[in-house]
Amino acid sequence: MFTIISVGKLSAPWRDVAEQYIVRLGPYLPIKVIEIAEVSFGKNDDVEKIKKQEAGLLIKYLKPDAHIIALHPDAKTPSTKKFAEQLEGWRRKREIIFMIGGPHGIHESILEKASELLSLSPLTFTHQMTRAILLEQLYRCIMREKGKYDY
């Protein structure tokens, strides 16, 4: 079972894209999505405090025996081929949890609980785009495995 825990709800068009990939993945890789309420903030609010509040909401969904992959911009960015190989290995493990933070990222206390960190690109994406991109890459990897994509 793969779970994506994400801060914030998706708005259109990202919601539509994400739902499309969840449906496509359904027969091959069941995915559960948990959306955590985004902590509202203003321009002068303390970013660390916001991330800590979101961490308090995220931690409730982390399972001690799960393989936790936190998306983080400073992590290594694998090629699609390497990501497909990682996915194949992850599928043999216990439950897999992907965590996507809010606009300010994931608090250090949660990153410390991650089994590994993953970056989808050296570019910066919104947390809404990130979920859609992650789902597309999971789908691409599964289709590569099935011989339908070679890239």
What is the pLDDT, as a whole number, of residue 150? 63
Tell me, yes or no, whether 76 lies in a domain: yes
Burial of 48: CB neighbours in 10 Å, binned 0-12, 13-18, 19+: exposed
Question: Whole-model pTM above 0.95?
Answer: no
Tell me, yes or no, whether 33 lies in a domain: yes
Query: Which domain range does residue 62 map to?
Result: 2-38+47-145
Take residue 32 and report the two structure tokens written for it.
């559960």
Take residue 144 and report the two structure tokens written for it.
């590569």
Tell me, yes or no, whether 10 lies in a domain: yes
* Out of 10-19, 21-30, 89-98, least confident range: 89-98
Tell me, yes or no, whether 130 lies in a domain: yes
Burial letters for 73-101: b for 16+ Cβ neighbours within 10 Å, e otherwise?
A: bebeebeeeebbeebeebeeeeebbbbbb
- Is it true that the peptide bond before 103 is cis, omega within 30 degrees of 0? no
Tell me, yes or no, whether 13 lies in a domain: yes
Tell me, yes or no, whether 151 lies in a domain: no
Q: What DSSP string runs through 72-85?
A: -TTS----HHHHHH
Number of domains in the chain: 1
What average pLDDT score do residues 26-31 get? 93
Tell me, yes or no, whether 114 lies in a domain: yes
Encode pLDDT of 91-150 as tens digits. 887 799 999 999 899 999 999 999 999 999 999 899 889 999 999 999 999 999 888 766
Tell me, yes or no, whether 150 lies in a domain: no
CATH assignment at residue 51: 3.40.1280.10
Whether 151 has a pLDDT exceeding 70, the answer reads no
Q: Within 13 Å of residue 49, how many CA atoms lie on the same side as its CB?
A: 6
Whether 26 has a pLDDT exceeding 90, the answer reads yes
